[in-house]
Amino acid sequence: MTDASTLDWTVFVLVVTLRLVVPLFIPRFPLPAILAALVIDGIDQTVFATFTDLSLENYQSYDKALDIYYLTVAYLSVLRNWRNPFAVGVAAFLWYYRLVGVLLFELTGERWLLMVFPNTFEYFFIAIEVVRTRWDASRLSKAAFLWTAGLIWVVIKLPQEWWIHVAQLDFTDEFRRLVDEHPWTWAVLAILAVVLVVVGRRVVRGLPPADWPFTLDSDVVAERVGWLPRGPVAVAPSGVGHLVEKVVLAGLVTLILFESYPSLEGRLSVVALVVTGTVLVHAGLALWRGRRRGSLGVQVAANTVISIVAMLVFAVFATGQRGQVSAGDVLLFAYVVALIVTLYDRYSARREACELGTPSSSIGSSSVARTPSRRATRGPVLP
């Protein structure tokens, strides 16, 4: 980057800013935000290659880190928005299963691990959010959630992961070669498109009546299904289980980021210790704050500062010397840990407040949910 031109820097900063900011809209507008993040992820390498002279030698490391970033926000938004505890459990399994696989890949370099641990979570999240645009997804049966995850896993993700990570084929190059060698490919694609349209129309006609008009706003859905906090919302959720999950989530994400950065070296045990200590510091401060909640942006900024101080202190304690990580890297890791802790605490605490007074039998049952409100087209801004 030392020889980068003004245009190179402008394009680089714009793309990275989009990849950092767009995922922050996923909790409120899950479907359009994650699709936008997916599109940006798919075209950023092409943008760099077309408009800049930047070296893409370490592109895969950068790309993987930002993929984990936006998918982490998507998982945290599941805790905020989804009522059905079984669906949340399926999403959690798919997400942590993928995190373990990515970490194993970073440690071993064995690409087949990414096929064994496919990123099923992302498409499962998108599928359920598509349902939630017009229907109460919490009324789906356990079998429906399992079939959705299973079909995505086997039919979509296994072939895709093999194509990308094992065969390492480029879709554009392979498609161009296929068309050049077999011109009739266009006719087959046209027939396939017609079949998909016909089948799609039949599927749409067979869908049950919508529970509400189309919406992309998760707060509107929350209002219509009554997924609203009962009473004040705490700063952080209660229970040791939540603390353990925060440590595991922040730890796995940070370890993957650390391993994916080629310029960083160090013992993973030290990184795990630093992250664990930092999360515990945040937990202690949350207990001290009680129910005093600030705005999300201010809280993330404050927690980032706390993370920086805690990480530096624990790093010195664990190694006996100052770390060799640059200021920019420290800021990145501190921000990621702060964002995870802040969103996890806010969304899990909000979930606990929503569950108060909500009969467990009404969440995820096959019976009709409470009558949705039709009076508002825009929902309230929820914490």
| Per-residue model confidence as pLDDT tens digits over 63-101 | 788 899 999 999 999 999 999 999 999 999 999 999 999
pLDDT above 90 for 53: no
pLDDT of residue 43: 86
Average pLDDT over residues 24-46: 92
pLDDT of residue 77: 97
Average pLDDT over residues 136-143: 93
- The H helix count followed by the E strand count for the chain is 15, 0
Q: Residue 370's pLDDT band (boundaries 50, 70, 90)?
A: very low
Q: What angle do CA 171, 62, 273 make, to 5 degrees?
A: 135
pLDDT of residue 51: 83
pLDDT of residue 1: 55
User: Pick from 313, 312, 252, 320: which is nearest to 106 by CA?
Assistant: 252
Q: Residue 373's pLDDT band (boundaries 50, 70, 90)?
A: very low
Q: Which pTM value belongs to this model? A: 0.86
3-class secondary structure per residue, 45-110:
HHHHHHHCCCCCCCHHHHHHHHHHHHHHHHHHHHHHHCCCHHHHHHHHHHHHHHHHHHHHHHHHCC
Average pLDDT over residues 317-327: 60
pLDDT above 50 for 254: yes
Portion of the chain with pLDDT greater than 90, in percent: 44
Average pLDDT over residues 151-180: 81
Per DSSP (E only), the strands in the chain are none
pLDDT above 70 for 198: yes
Q: Name which residue leads in pLDDT, 250 or 361.
A: 250
Q: Name which residue leads in pLDDT, 265 or 382.
A: 265
pLDDT above 60 for 367: no
pLDDT of residue 8: 76
pLDDT above 60 for 216: yes
pLDDT above 90 for 47: no
Contact between 40 and 18 (Cβ < 8 Å): yes
Q: Name which residue leads in pLDDT, 119 or 374.
A: 119
Q: Can you tell me whether residue 372 is helix, strand or coil?
A: coil
User: Pick from 323, 196, 303: which is nearest to 258 by CA?
Assistant: 323
Contact between 125 and 278 (Cβ < 8 Å): no
pLDDT of residue 364: 52
